[in-house]
A and B are shown apart, each in its own frame.
Chain A
Amino acid sequence: MIQPHGKTLINKELPKMEKENILGEIEEYYRKSVNPQTTKVIKNIAFGVFSPLEGFMDSNNYQYVLKDMYLENNVAWPFPIVLDASESETQEFGVDDSIILMGERGLPLAIMNINDIFDYEKKEFAQIVYGTLDRNHPGVESVYNMKEKLIGGEIFLLNEPAPIFPKLDLKPMETRVLFKQKKWDKVVAFQTRNPPHLGHEYIQKAGLTYVDGLFINPVIGKKKVGDFKDEVIIESYQALINEYFPKDRVVLSTFETEMRYAGPKEAIFHAIARKNYGCDHIIIGRDHAGVGDYYGPYDAHDIFDKFPDLGIEPIKFRSFSKCSKCNAVVNDKICPHPPEMQNYFAGRDIRAALLAGKHPDIEVMRPEVAEVILRYENPFVE
């Protein structure tokens, strides 16, 4: 099986006794509240989804990643993973202090050993990571909403935040054992934030044809208005798998993280996380993790050429469509027929049908999938 990114699967859980000691003395620490997105980052670092990261980046790694897309130790990493703090917060602690990161409802999530407190330029951050300063881009907007300082340092988990879908919440160590149990040596990952249409099913099955297993790994977490709700995505995939996939060849599990819509850089990030889960291939479609027209449709394909040492291999798909002449789902490499014979699974058409309470064309979406979506009065994030 593929090695974790950076060769070691990170585990930042504390031994029980040490954890109890810290929690027993919690009043003595400065306690910093973090939002649900940062809570997910903490969990992902702690259980190795973000291996080799062991905490939030210090200024050296921040600069290396921003300028070079490599960490200081020469491991590829596409964008900074940082923790922001206000000027007034940073008056309360200093380098070499330990603080407690607090989640929702006062849950102590992690202890953080601070090794750096530094300034950063929001414009530089946004421009380099997102390629734009347009605040209509949700990633840029969230950078501008960050506090003025960044704090770096290693974290250790005190309490695991409750998963959104407990039965689908697998950690990298668990997926690695699962793949081993299933005798899957080669695994292809599929990243998604949408319910599946037939085009998705086609590329998943095309990818699966050449490996042992398919790991469908929807992103669960903060998304932009108009995206499908998490529960709609999960239930629609369960319906698809039940009816149309060989059960011993597919695993569905969630990846709790926010969508940053960083396009090509996020494709690299998605690949690294799936490598840590034990996948050696990842399907990268058109405009992966894009939003609006900030990125070219195949930028997320091209960026992989810059990382000869990533380990996980992208399976790149360009456009796919239902060809009326072939009477099959095809892609532009294998079908000679003109655009007027193609149905391109346009998201807006699918969405329009669903909003009207109708099943999309059966050649576009499986009726079982449409049924799940139509059960929801509003399947979209508001």
Chain B
Amino acid sequence: MNEDERKVEYTTVSIPKPLANKIKERMKGTGFSSVSSYVTYVLRQLLSSIESEEKSTQAFTKEEEEKVIQRLRDLGYID
């Protein structure tokens, strides 16, 4: 594998300069080292809050759940 392939990939997103300047001001004293790292953090936070509102895609079938309940009974976790 060459050096380029080993690098974690990034892409560039354009934001208005005044917004970037505002972020720079906001970043002061926060420990973030760049506008990029700050924006990455904020976007992750935003996406996470949207996703946590969505319902879980995980659904157990009735049959699977019954099987698990029986095992939990056998192990003494439920009566």
**A311 in contact with B8 (CB, 8 Å):** no
How far, in Å, is A46 (CB) from chain B's closest CB?
Answer: 16
How far, in Å, is B59 (CB) from chain A's closest CB?
Answer: 10
How far, in Å, is A313 (CB) from chain B's closest CB?
Answer: 11
**Which residues of the partner chain B approach A59 to less than 8 Å between Cβ atoms?**
1, 5-6
How far, in Å, is B79 (CB) from chain A's closest CB?
Answer: 10
**Which residues of the partner chain B approach A168 to less than 8 Å between Cβ atoms?**
75
* A162-189 interface with B by 8 A CB criterion: 167-168, 170, 173-174, 176-178, 181-182
Stretch among A1-9, A103-111, A219-227, A292-300 lining the B interface: A1-9
**B48 in contact with A308 (CB, 8 Å):** yes
**Which residues of the partner chain B approach A93 to less than 8 Å between Cβ atoms?**
none
Which residue from chain A places its CB closest to the CB of B44 in the assembled complex? A309
How far, in Å, is A370 (CB) from chain B's closest CB?
Answer: 25
**Interface check B15, CB cutoff 8 A:** no
Which residue from chain A places its CB closest to the CB of B45 in the assembled complex? A308
Q: Considering the chains assembled together, what is the distance between the CA atoms of A63 and B3 in angstroms? A: 11
**Which residues of the partner chain B approach A119 to less than 8 Å between Cβ atoms?**
1
Interface residues on B, range: 20 to 34
Most chain A CB within 10 A, of B60, B72, B78, is at: B72
**Interface check A64, CB cutoff 8 A:** yes
* B1-43 interface with A by 8 A CB criterion: 1, 5-8, 41-42
**Interface check A147, CB cutoff 8 A:** no
> A178-B72, A181-B69 are known contacts. Are A64 and B8 too (CB-CB below 8 A)?
yes
The interface residues of chain B, by DSSP majority, are classed as: helix
**B6 in contact with A63 (CB, 8 Å):** yes
Most chain A CB within 10 A, of B58, B65, B75, is at: B58
* A36-82 interface with B by 8 A CB criterion: 59, 63-64, 67-68, 74
A307-339 interface mask toward B, CB cutoff 8 Å, 1 = contact, 0 = none? 111110000000000000000000000000000
**B72 in contact with A8 (CB, 8 Å):** no
**A178 in contact with B77 (CB, 8 Å):** yes
A1-44 interface mask toward B, CB cutoff 8 Å, 1 = contact, 0 = none? 10110011100000000000000000000000000000000000
**A3 in contact with B56 (CB, 8 Å):** yes
**Interface check B63, CB cutoff 8 A:** no
Q: Considering the chains assembled together, what is the distance between the CA atoms of A59 and B1 in angstroms? A: 9
**Interface check A251, CB cutoff 8 A:** yes
> A7-B51, A63-B7, A63-B8 are known contacts. Are A308 and B78 too (CB-CB below 8 A)?
no
**Which residues of the partner chain B approach A74 to less than 8 Å between Cβ atoms?**
44
Show 12 A/B contacts (Cβ-Cβ < 8 Å), sorted by A: A3-B52, A4-B56, A4-B58, A7-B51, A59-B6, A63-B6, A63-B7, A173-B68, A307-B44, A309-B47, A309-B48, A309-B51
* Other contacts beyond A63-B6, A173-B64, A177-B68: 18, CB < 8 A: A3-B51, A3-B58, A7-B57, A8-B57, A63-B7, A74-B44, A173-B60, A174-B71, A177-B65, A177-B72, A178-B78, A181-B78, A308-B41, A308-B44, A308-B48, A309-B47, A310-B48, A311-B48
Q: Which residues of B contact A (CB under 8 A)?
A: 1, 5-8, 41-42, 44-45, 47-48, 51-52, 56-58, 60, 64-65, 68-69, 71-72, 75-78
The 7 closest A-B pairs by CB, nearest first: A309-B48, A308-B45, A177-B68, A309-B44, A3-B56, A67-B8, A9-B58
